[in-house]
Amino acid sequence: DIQMTQSPSSLSASVGDRVTITCRASQGIRNDLGWYQQKPGKAPKRLIYAASSLQSGVPSRFSGSGSGTEFTLTISSLQPEDFATYYCLQHNSYPMYTFGQGTKLEIK
């Protein structure tokens, strides 16, 4: 099975900061990766698909990059509503999937 290692597991930042979250795959997965945002008590919401494509309706301060084994989610200028937990999801082994362990983004 493909393993996804996400880092950091938690992160404290301030409104206006630039933040980067990383996911590393145990083997090459091309660009078969998405990023999801989850707020407490809510279902995950897709932000990025195919590693770098922005989901319709998602603010442009969110961006994704990477290919192969290393991927990043960047939030260019944190807003109060961005404090949440973020997950990566690989689907290169479709129809089998693997999530990262999550990154909890907290207010400093």
Partner 1 sequence: QVTLRESGPALVKPTQTLTLTCTFSGFSLSTSGMCVSWIRQPPGKALEWLALIDWDDDKYYSTSLKTRLTISKDTSKNQVVLTMTNMDPVDTATYYCARVSIATHEFDYWGQGTLVTVSS
Contact flag: residue 57 with partner 1 (CB under 8 A): no
Does 83 interact with partner 1 (rule: CB under 8 A)? no
Q: Which is nearer to partner 1, 15 or 96 (CB)?
A: 96
Which residue, 15 or 28, is less far from partner 1 as judged by CB?
28
32 binds partner 1 (CB under 8 A): yes
* Cβ closest to partner 1, residue 71 vs residue 87: 87
Q: Is 34 in the site for partner 1 (CB under 8 A)?
A: yes
b vs e for 45-80, b when ≥16 Cβ sit within 10 Å of the residue's Cβ?
eebbbebbeeeeeeeeebbbebeeeebbbebeebee
Region of 50 on the Ramachandran plot (φ > 0 left; ψ -120 to 50 alpha; else beta)? left
